[in-house]
Structure 1
Amino acid sequence: MSKEPNRKLAAVMAEAGASNKGLAKRVREVAQRHGEHLGTTHVAVQRWLDGSGIQRQTAVFVAEALSAKLRRRVAPQDLGFPGAAPAPTPAVGMGYAGSLAETLSALDGLTHQRPEDGPSDEPQLPNVDVHAAVLSWLVARPEGVPTDVPAARRVGMRDVAAIWTAAGFFMQLDFQFGGGHAHKAFRHYFREDVLPLLGCSYSAKVGEALFQAATEMSQLLAWTAYDSGNHALADRYMLSTLRLTQVAGDRMMGARILANMSHQANYLGQAPRALMLARASVEGGKAGSTPRAMALFSAHEARALSTAQDHKGAARAMSEAERFFERADSADDPEWLSYMDEAELIGEFCHCFRDLGQGAEAVRFAERAVELTNPKYARTLGFCRMVLAQSQLLNGDLDAAVTTAGLAVEAGDALESARFQRYVGDFQREVSAYGTHPAVQQFSGQVRDAMNRLDDE
């Protein structure tokens, strides 16, 4: 039986202006970037055009090569290669992408991974890769959105507005229930409804707005992976999202991503990494960020310095954050920054005083944070209550600490968050020395009951 020619591949090659030899060369280069060696020649390309089969991984490399040439995302299925594997996502060492096409390919591959699939102890990106990415971002110039792409669909501001509406919906789900609750829906929407638009046709104004909206969705995926406890996956999302900010030159969003990476490193006790990322956020963001954003970035520097037990440095960074926040209403902020209010700043500071061992100040700030936090931010309120409980314990008030922690657990809305569960676990270890105390025993029972209810739900 004669084979059917692969007309889909032929059509995309014609659109890209790629010859057999040219495509073969590009495929070899893509494979090499992913640590693979392929001996693809023009003869192999002709066989594919004639309808011969192709290895699943090779099909992925062909799609990435043509994506880079066309400056839009091309999937293996678009080339007549059904059933090909998603783009490879190396376990370690995925560095700062060299092109937009590589970035989109990486993000597409990441959306095929569920946070619960990978072991929680999978290695994060090594420091050398993170340092190289930060330096690349700091010295990068805006690429400009690709407005000269031939495509059948024209993207307009209505499409961009739809993405922002979806981002707001997903962010509220994340605040209310934690990252594990909506990650599947995030991934599907981003892969099927957002990434394809980046390869369409649009004006410069629409393109800039589109990339800003796509970046917001991408950072939400990063944050929810982090909140779910898959730090390796969160790392890779954040690095790709940082690269995405380079297209439109959105320095404030890029600095936000670095601050998020610092937040994660600080949570994991990686003080040097957290401090480097926070300072890169402050330095990289100051030329194009609002005072409210700079208050956020400086607060993360204070958090990292507190973890490092640098009392003087932490006090300086907190003072800088306060000074920036005093001018917060002097500029128009992007919508994504609306959560950065007084409650958020006070909440960051109560973490600082707790980590510095300053019990009285920690209690004062944590009480204020609990008072100010909007109940719709259930997870944030849960964190503030747990920090208040730890601070009360630090201050020698066991009964108050256990009562406060009990309120946080009983609310239950934050329990989907792996980070919140970690806060509860840390507190349980801290009060374990008082294990025979009736209040501590009652709290342990509360935690067991709450986790059982979570399993039932």
Structure 2
Amino acid sequence: MNREPNHRLAALMADAGASNKGLARRVRDVALRHGVRVGTTHVSVQRWLDGAGIQADNAAYLAEALSAKLGRRVTASDLGFSGVTINPSPIGTSYAASLAEALGVLDGLTQLRPEDEPFTDELLHDNEVSSAVLSWLVARPDGLPSDRGAPRRIGMRDVAAVRTANAMFMRLDFLFGGGHGHAALRHYFRHEVLPLLSAGYSEKVGQALFTAAAEMGEVLAWTAYDVGNHHLANRYLLAALRLTQITDDRMMGAALLANMSHQANYLGDVPRAARLARAAVEGGRGRTTPRAQAMFAAHEARALSNAHDHVGASRALNEAERHFERADSATDPEWLAYFDEAELIGEFSHCFRDLQRPAESLRFAELAVGKTEPQYARTLAFCRMVLAQSHYLHGDVGAAVATATTAVREGESVQSARFRRYVSDFQRQVSPQASNSAVRDFNDHVRVALADPDDE
């Protein structure tokens, strides 16, 4: 029997700018948010376009995916599937409605390999993020689940093991980049941490456990971000944000919003970056330490600097400096220890670079390189590249290329898509000097040092 092509679905996909592969990925992501793993591929989408039928659950996931992409409600009729009844989900269901759903989402996410997910520069739809952030801002804490007589009961030693593992993965991430540890961390979280969250525990143990799980979720997000899968990293950030609602950990929740701001700014979505940074400030108000407040203000300054808002950026920079002057390590959680003076100075150097203020950028970048400890090798590589850019802005091509060469040589072992982009951005910046022998030598060095092993 000949099938009629599904013109309505084709029109929706064209309106959304969605390819078969892109839409298939979105359907899989939606299903994961509901704790379900589906096998939708580009072939599945093509069959639907050719007029094949669809199961009700898949139709619901498809409708939710296109609704989020288009920013408007999509119905069964819009999809072109006659005789299929779906229960529409609200736009913005990335933020899990319950603990069970949140754990299902994390279980699904930890089965995904970043390298298998295409179109990784695409963030979640703004509607999804805004809805999730608003939900977190106004939600009451869930509280720990009641002891259901689980067959396994855990104690603080189990929590200590998770914290120790997280510290090790964080150190690996800072030293060698997200590419070195993401796979192992993903496996550890799925097979070691998720079972603990469903076990039995006391109030004290449960509070510590969910706090540690949210912190590890943040590292999962950062490693996915660092290898270049921004869509997956966004999902992890929202999933970790949902975990902070269980125990009302407003400081970690606000930090996750700041991380989302950092990511949005990196990808050029400056308005979103500024909003998320302000949400971090407001969401953590009265519940965060001065060091955390300094970090949130620095992220806002980064976004405003990228927008060339000199007045706003200066205000945020002054706020960051003022908060940092009151920082007291004794009151900070362990996960915030990395935000030291060198990190703050490095943030300032990025801001002055983006504001096209070479003298200040050069001064702060030199300070950041001098103060950053070797254990933060990736950060040091970033700071060296900003220093190179600052030398170039200051008109010193020789110093710029020499500094960038050092950064590439010292950063060869860092598996970080972000570092590679710092290098490529610098190459574009100095491209008007392509005839300069030092620039030619640098480009040759980059081709060898940062070559993809698969291309050799």
Partner of 2:319: 320
Q: Distance between the aligned counterparts of 2:139 and 2:180, measured in 1?
A: 35
Q: CA deviation at 1:168?
A: 0.6
Contact 1:370 1:385 in 2 (8 A): yes
Q: 1:146 to 1:352 in 2, by over 3 A?
A: same
Partner of 2:217: 218
Q: TM-score w.r.t. structure 2 length?
A: 0.79
Q: Distance between the aligned counterparts of 2:96 and 2:323, measured in 1?
A: 33
Q: CA deviation at 1:454?
A: 6.0
Contact 2:381 2:407 in 1 (8 A): yes
Partner of 1:251: 250
Contact 1:378 1:414 in 2 (8 A): no
Q: Distance between the aligned counterparts of 2:295 and 2:386, measured in 1?
A: 19
Partner of 1:235: 234
Partner of 1:333: 332
Contact 1:93 1:125 in 2 (8 A): no
Q: Distance between the aligned counterparts of 2:285 and 2:296, measured in 1?
A: 9
Partner of 1:109: 108
Q: CA deviation at 1:32?
A: 13
Partner of 1:167: 166
Within-5 A mapping of 1:91-110: 95-110=94-109
Partner of 1:354: 353
Q: Distance between the aligned counterparts of 1:431 and 1:306, measured in 2?
A: 21
State the AA in 2 paired with 1:129: E
Contact 1:303 1:352 in 2 (8 A): yes
State the AA in 1 paired with 2:239: S
Partner of 1:69: none
State the SS of the aligned residue for 1:182.
Answer: helix
Contact 2:33 2:96 in 1 (8 A): no
Q: Distance between the aligned counterparts of 1:331 and 1:32, measured in 2?
A: 39
Within-5 A mapping of 1:43-442: 95-121=94-120, 123-329=122-328, 331-413=330-412, 415-442=414-441
Q: Distance between the aligned counterparts of 1:330 and 1:380, measured in 2?
A: 21
Q: CA deviation at 1:214?
A: 0.6
Structure 1 residues not aligned, in runs of 5+: 1-29, 37-54, 62-89
Contact 1:120 1:229 in 2 (8 A): no
Q: Distance between the aligned counterparts of 1:34 and 1:200, measured in 2?
A: 21
Q: CA deviation at 1:332?
A: 1.2
Q: CA deviation at 1:376?
A: 1.2
Residue-by-residue CA offset, 1:244-271 (whole Å, 9 max, x unaligned):
1000000000000000000000000110
Residue-by-residue CA offset, 1:290-337 (whole Å, 9 max, x unaligned):
111111111001111111111011111111111110010275110001
State the SS of the aligned residue for 1:96.
Answer: coil
> Looking at CA atoms only, which structure, 1 or 2, has the larger radius of gyration?
1
State the SS of the aligned residue for 1:125.
Answer: coil
Q: 1:330 to 1:385 in 2, by over 3 A?
A: closer
Q: Distance between the aligned counterparts of 1:268 and 1:241, measured in 2?
A: 21
Q: Distance between the aligned counterparts of 2:161 and 2:103, measured in 1?
A: 20
Q: Distance between the aligned counterparts of 1:449 and 1:302, measured in 2?
A: 36
Contact 2:136 2:242 in 1 (8 A): yes
State the AA in 1 paired with 2:171: Q
Contact 2:93 2:132 in 1 (8 A): no
Partner of 1:72: none
Structure 2 residues not aligned, in runs of 5+: 1-29, 37-54, 62-88
Residue-by-residue CA offset, 1:211-261 (whole Å, 9 max, x unaligned):
011111111111100001001100111111111100000000000000000
Q: Tell me the number of residue pairs that the alignment of Structure 1 and Structure 2 aligns.
A: 378
Q: Distance between the aligned counterparts of 2:324 and 2:35, measured in 1?
A: 46
439-448 vs 250-259, greater mean Cα deviation: 439-448
Q: CA deviation at 1:146?
A: 1.3
Q: Distance between the aligned counterparts of 1:388 and 1:189, measured in 2?
A: 37
Partner of 2:47: none
State the AA in 2 paired with 1:374: E
Q: Distance between the aligned counterparts of 1:421 and 1:259, measured in 2?
A: 23
Q: Distance between the aligned counterparts of 1:119 and 1:93, measured in 2?
A: 22
**CA RMSD, aligned part only?**
2.4
Contact 1:103 1:240 in 2 (8 A): yes
Q: 1:125 to 1:33 in 2, by over 3 A?
A: closer
Q: Distance between the aligned counterparts of 1:377 and 1:121, measured in 2?
A: 25
Contact 1:251 1:284 in 2 (8 A): yes
Q: 1:331 to 1:35 in 2, by over 3 A?
A: closer
Q: Distance between the aligned counterparts of 1:31 and 1:422, measured in 2?
A: 32
